[in-house]
A and B are shown apart, each in its own frame.
Chain A
Amino acid sequence: QSALTQPPSASGSPGQSVTISCTGTSRDIGAFNYISWYQQYPGKAPKLIISEVSNRPSGVTARFSGSKSGNTASLTVSGLQAEDEADYYCASFVDYDSWLIGGGTKLTVL
């Protein structure tokens, strides 16, 4: 059970777009469309921002979008704002009712 692979850091200036990748295998990301993304501020609980590859829960800004190609999922944050500075994690359902979470990406707004 290796974690999904995310870049440790990403950055962008206010107003720009940033994409964070999440790479898995044909047993997890490549096999299922149950990919989710979470935002976490320091000292706080994570918050779901994307489910099922590209679905945004009610109340989540449309500046967050998700996609998937093969064994790689991506989160794009458009129109970067200072409040987007946080840690972001991807997760995927895996066979036999288990889940994997990525190592996390620290997003810095320059």
Chain B
Amino acid sequence: EVLLVESGGGLVQPGGSLRLSCAAFGFDYSNAWMHWVRQAPGKGLVWVSHINSDGSTTTYADSVKGRFTISRDNAKNTLYLQMNSLRAEDTAVYYCARDKSYAMAVWGQGTTVTVSS
């Protein structure tokens, strides 16, 4: 079964940092492109970041560029999102997703990040 499991969310103060993880199961992770997508409370989905299969290409939404870093460990079948200089507007459920044909084909259950003092 193809499965993505996010972890690492929590409560953090403005200006703080957090690292999210996404463990992948049941597919050839090392050859898969991956995404992070977030959803603020009561709001819509927003694409955050993408990484190609070997990690050599990464892209970001303008709203997180320079503050967030996507990375992956293919030996551990795990995707990461390092989030620095967090703001209240970064409060959201963060989903990881596997790409297939430029679509987010499989989604995790999400992990909640709350930025508040």
Contact = CB atoms under 8 A, between A and B. Distances in A.
A73 interface: no
Nearest to B98: A48
Interface centre among A1, A40, A52, A87 (most CB of B within 10 A): A1
Contacts, number: 73
A89 interface: yes
A86 interface: no
Given A36-B104, A45-B95, A104 B59 contact: no
A93 B35 CA distance: 12
B50 A104 contact: no
A34 B35 CA distance: 15
Interface in B52-95: 52, 57, 59-63, 95
A97 interface: yes
Given A45-B109, A52-B101, A3 B50 contact: no
Given A97-B50, A99-B35, A101-B37, A48 B105 contact: yes
B44 A57 contact: no
Given A1-B62, A98-B59, A101-B37, A51 B105 contact: yes
Interface residues of A, number: 28
B27 interface: no
B44 A104 contact: yes
Given A45-B108, A46-B45, A46-B95, A99 B101 contact: no
Given A45-B109, A46-B37, A96-B59, 11 more contacts: A34-B102, A36-B103, A38-B45, A40-B45, A46-B104, A48-B103, A89-B45, A98-B59, A99-B102, A101-B44, A101-B46
